[in-house]
């Protein structure tokens, strides 16, 4: 079995899917790429058992066959080569793989492709098609708020709810919650699922910069995404997601409108002086002024800044984790935002003033108990 391919083109395709390979996989064969040749089409598969990504490259060949090749060794070799056509020879009896360049030879010990796990079949219960920029925005706007606590597996992914009116993407780690809604993505078959964080991270990084349609199909246990020459299958998280709508406070009479960039930069400066364990900052809000302050009693450090804002409601003081608040502000794509609050012990809502058509965005952040300093 033999094929000729551009070294840079092969490296590009491998790089697109290599992120799925675990550094220390449960099954050693998963340290390999599965290469499957069918004349001029080379299909490359990478897997960690939970997520499978498949891509294709055009090669010069009239052969067919397959082999599992060490992923890191192959990629490191291709990275070190200047752009050139390389010939790949594979011994289908020993699975030995040889890369022949214009002035050298590199031999890799391949493995039996039959040992590579087959990707799960998606019994396609239903499917939807959406643009890649919509899917990318949905992932980017929610994934940072997923939990890393494996004891609460439902919260380690993004909850997706499809209805006839809109599709909602929700992520929460218990301290904050993001609800991102699209009215231009609908389904005649209402359904819900939880997509795992790692799969969504890989999906986002492999989406092209130009807008392409992404075909998305779902079964009871898997999701299947395909666009361009990429296919991805991921196992859904089979858990019950928290009832997020009940967490979102409905009556928030205290509303602050402020420039996002100024709020964020001030918050980052003040956070330098906050306690390194709690990251607590204090917001004191009056009719036209926001005072942001922090104090680290262990080191007698403190900082205060005042910003102009518009505020409707009763003067209030409320505490937040600066780290969470800054990350949420960084991920809001708006110049002006409204910060809605009810009481110092109730969640606050960040809502962008300007947003895309068909898009609805809400970020919830839980307050922290304020220290007694004034």
- Based on the domain organization, do 241 and 254 belong to the same domain? no
Distance from CA of residue 186 to its chain's centroid? 21
- Based on the domain organization, do 149 and 83 belong to the same domain? no
- Based on the domain organization, do 108 and 163 belong to the same domain? no
- Based on the domain organization, do 105 and 162 belong to the same domain? no
For 178, residues 6+ apart whose C-beta sits below 8 A from its C-beta are: 141, 142, 144, 145, 169, 170, 171, 172, 328, 361, 362, 363, 364
Within a domain: 208? yes
pLDDT per residue of the chain (374 residues) written in tens, 0 to 9: 999 999 999 999 999 999 999 988 989 999 999 999 999 999 999 999 999 999 999 999 999 999 999 999 999 999 999 999 999 999 999 999 999 999 999 999 999 999 999 988 777 678 899 999 999 999 999 999 999 999 999 999 999 999 999 999 999 999 999 999 999 999 988 999 999 999 999 999 999 999 999 999 998 899 999 999 999 999 999 999 999 999 999 999 999 999 999 999 999 999 999 999 999 999 999 999 999 999 998 888 999 999 999 999 999 999 999 999 999 999 999 999 999 999 999 999 999 998 888 999 999 999 998 865 44
Judge contact between 132 and 214, C-beta under 8 A.
yes
Within a domain: 372? no
Token pair for residue 264?
């964020």
Within a domain: 20? yes
Within a domain: 310? yes
Within a domain: 121? no
For 215, residues 6+ apart whose C-beta sits below 8 A from its C-beta are: 127, 129, 225, 226, 227
Residue 298 belongs to a domain with what CATH number?
3.10.150.10
Within a domain: 374? no
Judge contact between 324 and 363, C-beta under 8 A.
no
- Based on the domain organization, do 168 and 108 belong to the same domain? no
For 177, residues 6+ apart whose C-beta sits below 8 A from its C-beta are: 145, 170, 171, 244, 247, 248, 363, 364
User: How many domains in the chain?
Assistant: 3
- Based on the domain organization, do 12 and 84 belong to the same domain? yes
- Based on the domain organization, do 108 and 200 belong to the same domain? no
- Based on the domain organization, do 215 and 255 belong to the same domain? no
Within a domain: 323? yes
- Based on the domain organization, do 238 and 309 belong to the same domain? no
Count Cβ atoms within 10 A of the Cβ of residue 253 and give its class: 0-12 exposed, 13-18 middle, 19 or more buried: exposed
Question: Which of 84, 115, 146 finishes a domain?
Answer: 115
- Based on the domain organization, do 62 and 154 belong to the same domain? no
Question: Which of 92, 115, 138 finishes a domain?
Answer: 115
Question: Which of 245, 263, 291 finishes a domain?
Answer: 245
Would you state the pLDDT for residue 374? Answer: 43
Would you state the pLDDT for residue 120? Answer: 84
The residues with which 110 forms a beta bridge, in sequence order, are none
Within a domain: 373? no
User: Which residues form the domain of 143?
Assistant: 126-245
- Report CA-CA distances (Å) from 109 to 74, 88, 329: 10, 13, 49
Would you state the pLDDT for residue 124? Answer: 63
Torsions phi, psi for 8 (to 5 deg)? -75, -35
Distance CA 161, CA 213 (A): 20
């Amino acid at each position: 079995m033999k094929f000729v391919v551009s070294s840079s083109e092969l490296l590009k395709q491998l790089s697109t899917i290599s992120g799925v390979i675990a550094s220390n996989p449960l099954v050693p064969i998963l340290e390999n790429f599965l290469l499957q040749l069918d004349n001029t089409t080379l299909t490359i598969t990478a897997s960690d058992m939970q997520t499978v990504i498949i891509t294709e490259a055009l090669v010069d060949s009239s052969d067919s066959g397959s082999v599992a090749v060490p992923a890191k060794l192959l990629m490191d070799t291709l990275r070190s080569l200047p752009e050139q056509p390389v010939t790949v020879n594979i011994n289908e009896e020993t699975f030995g793989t040889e890369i022949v360049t214009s002035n050298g030879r590199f031999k890799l010990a391949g493995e039996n492709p039959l040992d590579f796990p087959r990707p799960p079949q998606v019994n396609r219960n239903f499917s939807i098609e959406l643009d890649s920029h919509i899917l990318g925005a949905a992932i980017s706007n929610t994934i940072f708020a997923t939990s890393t606590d494996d004891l609460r597996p439902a919260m380690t992914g993004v909850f997706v709810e499809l209805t006839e009116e809109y599709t909602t993407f929700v992520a929460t780690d218990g301290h904050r919650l993001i609800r991102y809604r699209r009215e231009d993505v609908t389904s005649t078959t209402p359904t819900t699922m939880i997509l795992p964080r790692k799969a969504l991270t890989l999906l986002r990084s492999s989406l092209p910069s130009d807008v392409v349609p992404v075909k998305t199909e779902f079964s009871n246990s898997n999701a299947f995404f395909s666009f361009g020459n990429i296919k991805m299958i991921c196992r859904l998280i089979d858990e019950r997601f928290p009832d997020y709508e009940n967490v979102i406070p409905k009556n928030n009479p205290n509303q602050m409108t402020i420039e996002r960039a100024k709020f964020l930069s001030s918050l980052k400066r003040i956070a330098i002086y906050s306690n390194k364990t709690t990251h607590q900052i204090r917001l004191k809000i009056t009719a036209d002024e926001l005072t942001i302050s922090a104090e680290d009693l262990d080191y007698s450090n403190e900082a205060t800044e005042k910003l102009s804002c518009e505020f409707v409601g009763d003067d209030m003081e409320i505490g937040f984790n600066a780290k969470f608040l800054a990350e949420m502000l960084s991920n809001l794509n708006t110049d002006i935002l409204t910060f809605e609050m009810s009481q110092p012990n109730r969640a606050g809502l960040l809502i962008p003033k300007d947003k895309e058509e068909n898009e609805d965005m809400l970020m919830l952040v839980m307050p922290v108990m304020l220290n007694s300093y004034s």
